[in-house]
Structure 1
């Protein structure tokens, strides 16, 4: 849908993950939308790490987020900022709100608050704090319980509505009488999530907030606090979640959910950015577009209200497209470390660029390319050839053909596909057999596989010395 996304201020977006785990796919898409929106309008993209959940936040999770952002190419213009380094600022704002009467101390215990909510439920009302400690003209407050430390609650408006024009969902309205007086500081003085977010967005002059729709219920509370502070409200856009192929919430059972796992699995960041962009946003029927084209198109419109569905087959299709777009030398640079990690030896073997030119047209991931390239780079051991293939294909009849081929091939001066094909045809003619009788045994004897790319291409890339040495062991 099309929503007015204009703002009188220079565009400033933010991505604000909590470092309690890896950068998941939903978070990566949020980062993408925020980054692309800022880039489209020549604005500023801010990275903020919301690490106030000390019990669950870890340095490893912070690094995982930073690694994921770097891999995807979402470099922030400012940050990363860390909420734990801004505690003095939050406490300063809480103190000022108490002074201004926009917040108050509440001495109700958690058990008492829960009892208030249970009573409201029993009476058919929305469960909420009942305002026992909210100061009002002429209201007598209860005596302060001895030794009990208070929380600080925001003095939420009692009447009226909170309305915003969501970039994704359109107009959304909440009645203030449905909203609690939100706790903005705990009894130990630490500020709460919704409060920290507001102060950060205010201080960092965020103009547009794009985030998951699980935050919709937080937005009216944050808007009210921001207005109480005298800040200008950002434009909000809440994107629906990503579902798995089965229509359920995306989770580990659907496969990898960490962005960096997709790097491990051999996906290109260019492909991941393209695919993530299409999960909840569209530009006509365009499916394939590079980063620059995405930025040119992404103006905050055409984001879907419906949940997106993760489709591994579609991702593979997109990734295969980007693999084919890479120059072969760049493709080789990305595949080489994966081959070496498998124990492959490239020195003295076929040029990797030539191998990739042969196998890349059918590949979908870098990992698949590395697996198939091992055909040429795995250390060869005739004794390790699969016993079942040897028994099935290296029969006495086949060995006669292989020895004849080896003798004839020894006389080839120019070791290339044309000459090799001619030699194979001459062997077939002498023995009056068809190609599979020679081709399959050659594959098994030289590579340990019954299926490979065209056998003359494989022979050419393996090289004359390799082929002759391997056939001598049969």
Structure 2
């Protein structure tokens, strides 16, 4: 059975970059009838916050990305300790005592000599006495995984055949000096023990994947099928990381973006398939193909979400917006007629309240100087309400006959006077909903 996972760190809110990873893993699981695990990467007790765990779940639920089970890495520390002991017993785990400053100096020296900044394994051959002395002086050291310095090869689901020389990579630190288990070890143990078959993540993890493949094999696990998607950029190709603070999912939700607008865009962005609005996640999963995604950086423009949101709302039935209409104050007896009139003239649900305000209380009229006398005369001819679907046609016909105006010169000034807007729904449909006309006179 296919098993995928999404493993966010609860150190902040999910943004569009995180969503891309979550969605791809979700769709692979759902398309195959497999299992999608939400795995909370909370091994850092200082930075991990329960409020962010709750927020992650809320954001995924808003999008309809329902998980089959939740795992917490903070509850699996004993499993990581056992794996670390196993690696020690195999001679694949060794303690190091360099300070961050010393490691930085080593890297700079290697770079100045034109060499790659790879850890030199200086601590690998320390005697027990030397380790005891350093431990007494500096406290517990950090632990590195000893890589076999050979080529690591795999076929990536997006990037194709990859090969990385392990000799060009530093032995990864898996446990810090303070005992904190780092992502690389926790992820390998979890993927192995949870039977994860497919892992999709950002292309910035390619080197991590190479080292993790060796770790999985050392621990006797089965290597998952890896795929590394491209990283998102801004619309001009700029680094998206500088804007992520405004691209959190909860911010997009607050801005009125519809969940399926976001899903439909992110499920195709960066692939060879065009973006198409889908009604639900089953439709999205059915058409999802990880092999159609490319490796080039993918441009993301938040403004692209609003036309998609508008198109979704244009097709949304009354039953799905009834709560929004009630919150805006639309009476139940007018809800059907109101939604039929405004649905194609809103971009987000947040626009609903403004339309009802216009219908219920009228709008501040917009009257150009050259139209003042014309509008004043026309308003004296507007009958008292209530209005029906014939009111606009009968009124404008009478005004045309009285003033000689026609076409745009007739209709536009009257629309602006009644609604304060130069565009919108057909005025024959607007008139029956107008409760107050403040533009008279």
Distance 1:251 1:130 in 2: 32
Q: Partner residue of 1:159?
A: 149
Distance 1:436 1:369 in 2: 27
**TM-score after normalising by structure 2:** 0.88
Change (3 A) 1:155 1:35: closer
Q: Does 1:23 align with 2:6?
A: no
Q: Does 1:297 align with 2:287?
A: yes
Distance 1:405 1:436 in 2: 19
Change (3 A) 1:186 1:59: same
Alignment of 1:139-158 (within 5 A): 144-145=133-134, 146-158=136-148
Change (3 A) 1:315 1:441: closer
Alignment partner for residue 427 of structure 2, among 445, 451, 455? 455
Change (3 A) 1:33 1:355: same
| Contact 1:393 1:441 survives alignment (8 Å) | no
Deviations 1:412-452 (A, max 9, x none): 8xx42225422432243244444767756654554444655
Q: Does 1:353 align with 2:336?
A: yes
Q: Partner residue of 1:287?
A: 276
Alignment of 1:3-22 (within 5 A): 10-22=1-13
Q: Partner residue of 1:220?
A: 210
- State the superposition RMSD in angstroms: 3.1
Q: What secondary structure is seen at the aligned counterpart in 2 of 1:60? A: helix
Q: Partner residue of 2:190?
A: 200
Instruction: Report deviation, 1:376.
Output: 1.6
Q: Partner residue of 1:7?
A: none
Change (3 A) 1:129 1:435: closer
Distance 2:401 2:242 in 1: 56
Deviations 1:283-327 (A, max 9, x none): 4x5634443232123243212122221244543333333223222
Instruction: Report deviation, 1:269.
Output: 0.9
| Contact 2:329 2:356 survives alignment (8 Å) | no
**TM-score after normalising by structure 1:** 0.82
| Contact 1:198 1:226 survives alignment (8 Å) | yes
Distance 1:462 1:184 in 2: 67
Distance 2:201 2:39 in 1: 13
Distance 2:372 2:278 in 1: 52
Q: What secondary structure is seen at the aligned counterpart in 1 of 2:292? A: coil
Q: Partner residue of 1:77?
A: 68
| Contact 2:260 2:278 survives alignment (8 Å) | no
Q: Partner residue of 1:241?
A: 231
Unaligned runs of at least 5 residues, structure 2: none
**Bigger Cα displacement from structure 2, 206-215 vs 302-311:** 302-311
Q: Partner residue of 1:319?
A: 309
Distance 2:354 2:237 in 1: 32
| Contact 2:20 2:267 survives alignment (8 Å) | yes
Instruction: Give the number of equivalent residue pairs.
Output: 439
Distance 1:294 1:400 in 2: 56
Q: Partner residue of 1:401?
A: 378
Distance 1:278 1:268 in 2: 16
| Contact 2:268 2:275 survives alignment (8 Å) | no
Q: Which runs of 4+ in 1 moved over 6 A?
A: 435-438
Instruction: Report deviation, 1:220.
Output: 1.4
